[in-house]
Amino acid sequence: MTFLAPAAAFLALTLPAIVALYFLRIRRPTRIVPALSLWPDQVRDRQASVPWQRLRFSWLLLIQLLAAAVLVAAAVQPALSAGTSLARHSIVLLDVSASMQARDVQPTRLDEAKKEVGAIIDQLGPQDRVTLIAVGPAPRIIASVVGDREALHRAVDGIGSSNGSADLSAALTLAAGLVRPGEDARAYLFSDGIVGAVRTGASSLPFPVE
């Protein structure tokens, strides 16, 4: 489980604050009376007003704590990962064109894309294959590995950007040639937006593209 807004966890300080308010009681002014036996209700009330007395069970306190806990849990926005498994053969198409050198995303767009590719690799099962293709002016296969996450991470780290464009059509044609008939395959494209017509139709590909 992850938290989308972990900084909101400071709101949990409201829980001990609520409990502290139940410990503390209002101090009342002292009055001299002839005999305490004439004021039994006031004596019990004074005993109940002693600060930092032992906490007693209270349904109101319990409801307030539960309400505060629910609000804190909602504020930190807990989220569960989808836990979807990869296809038996995952083809990663990584755009390495010149525009991926842009630094509007720190450190570069390519580095950000590599992080996303790493998340795909981390889902790799022991029998799953990942084929990594760098999509540049001339697309090339960087690695095609079964079950070895470390090798794939090293391959991704070694990819650099080019000074040309990205030929997505050639990359898709190359990827399609790597898939056997009937194989469970899926392609993942990581790009900042490739300019140019794609000559390969999606319906002719032996895999879906995300």
Confidence at residue 60, expressed as pLDDT on a 0 to 100 scale:
83
Per-residue pLDDT at 90 exceeds 50: yes
Task: Give the pairing of strands 78-79 and 89-95.
Answer: unpaired
Per-residue pLDDT at 11 exceeds 80: yes
β-partners of residue 161 are: none
Cβ pair 19, 90 in contact under 8 A: no
- When pLDDT is cut at 50, 70 and 90, the band that residue 66 belongs to is very high
**Averaged over 167-192, what is the pLDDT?**
87
Per-residue pLDDT at 99 exceeds 80: yes
Percent of the chain with pLDDT strictly greater than 70: 75
Q: What is the CATH number of domain 89-204?
A: 3.40.50.410
pTM beyond 0.85, yes or no: no
Residues 6+ apart with CB under 8 A from 123: 84, 85, 86
Between 62 and 30, the higher pLDDT residue: 62
Q: Residues of CATH 3.40.50.410 domain(s) within the chain?
A: 89-204
Per-residue pLDDT at 133 exceeds 80: yes
- When pLDDT is cut at 50, 70 and 90, the band that residue 42 belongs to is low
**Which has the minimum average pLDDT: 51-55, 84-88, 105-109, 124-128?**
51-55
**Averaged over 16-41, what is the pLDDT?**
69
- When pLDDT is cut at 50, 70 and 90, the band that residue 82 belongs to is very low
Question: Given phi > 0 = left and psi -120 to 50 = alpha, else beta, which region is 182?
Answer: left
Give the residue among 155, 144, 156 at the shortest CA–CA distance from 185: 144
Mean pLDDT score of the chain: 79
The helix (H) or strand (E) run that includes residue 14 is helix 14-23
Give the residue among 175, 81, 85, 90 at the shortest CA–CA distance from 129: 90
**Which has the minimum average pLDDT: 27-36, 101-110, 132-141, 190-199?**
27-36
**Averaged over 162-185, what is the pLDDT?**
86
Confidence at residue 83, expressed as pLDDT on a 0 to 100 scale:
47
Confidence at residue 100, expressed as pLDDT on a 0 to 100 scale:
85
Using DSSP, state whether 189 is helix, strand or coil: strand
| Phi and psi torsions of 105, nearest 5° | -115, 125
Q: Is 50 exposed, middle or buried (0-12, 13-18, 19+ CB in 10 A)?
A: exposed
